[in-house]
Amino acid sequence: MLIRRIFWILMIILVCCIAFYRCYFLRQPYRKVPNDENLFVSPANWQIIAIIKNPTDYTVIYKDNNAVLDHFIDWIGSWATMVSIMMTPMDVHYQRSPSNATLIEEKYVRWKKRNAMKTDPTMKSTLQNEYNAMLFESNNWVRYRIVQIAWTMARRIVSFVDIDDEVQQWEVIWLIRFGSQVTIIFDSNVEVVAKIWDKVVDGETVLAKMKIVEDSDEMEVFEEEG
């Protein structure tokens, strides 16, 4: 009798875990998307843990992570702004496109799996963990890179887009399982309006907006260099 009870208890726990994973963890709630090409929404859900302008200027993080940071800002420029978002296992783990854009590059790097739910001035979990990075170009020629960062409990990173695919601002582009981080690196044509420790909603919260360019020649130079 005892063995039978243990068996049924274990079966109930298993069914509850599967139901949680299928019905809650893999949920995709409705989002109020701004549908504005001058705005860039959050690709991920929960809290901003870092906003760093010109990350290659920060010796404390650049000296030990120069290769990763160089890749993050490649095609974007040294005047980039990096925004890191932390997710817990209870948050939505599908990521959405920040704007209408085209995927132009993707790179997957296997590395460490530090605790991505822990903040650190050296940003080791952001810059030394296994990651998948996608470089996008928006319809108004802004380039940004979104980086999915895995951690100890993350088992799989799933991508839903291919090179040269066009995505809409509301569109789901990724899934990362369990707690993790998502970092987005904007080029200098974008002004980040979100603040550190802000709670953000994927596909809904505005992270950044296009800078107002008074001189049209400035945008023409960017187009030629891009």
> CA distances (Å), 41 to each of 21, 54, 205, in order?
26, 21, 5
DSSP 55: G
Tokens of 8: 């049924």
For tokens 């039978």, the residue is 4
Distance from C-alpha of 177 to C-alpha of 173, rounded to nearest angstrom: 14
Instruction: Note the pLDDT of residue 171.
Output: 94
* pLDDT for res 154: 57
Read off the pTM: 0.85
**C-alpha pair distances (Å), 151 with each of 116, 125, 208:** 5, 8, 26
* 15 and 36 fall within a common domain: no
On whether both 15 and 66 belong to a single domain, the answer is no
Residue written as token pair 């030990």: 64
Same domain, 138 and 218: yes
Question: Which residues touch 118 (CB under 8 Å, ≥6 apart)?
Answer: 125
Residue 156 burial (CB < 10 Å; 0-12/13-18/19+)? Answer: exposed
Total domain count for the chain?
Answer: 2
Residue 148 and residue 183: Cα distance in Å, rounded? 7
User: Which CATH number is 146's domain given?
Assistant: 2.70.70.10
Q: Which domain holds residue 132?
A: 31-225
Q: Are 80 and 52 in the same domain? A: yes
Half-sphere exposure of 50 (CA within 13 A, CB side): 27
Output the pLDDT for position 102. Answer: 97
| pLDDT per residue as tens digits for the range 114-123 | 766 667 777 8
pLDDT at position 64 is 86
Q: Both 24 and 130 in a single domain? A: no
Question: Across the 226 residues of the chain, what is the mean pLDDT of every consecutive 10-residue run?
Answer: 82 82 77 93 95 87 90 92 91 93 93 72 84 94 92 72 94 83 95 96 96 52 39
The DSSP bridge pattern shows strands 157-159 and 131-138 to be: unpaired
Kindly state whether residues 192 and 128 are assigned to the same domain. Answer: yes
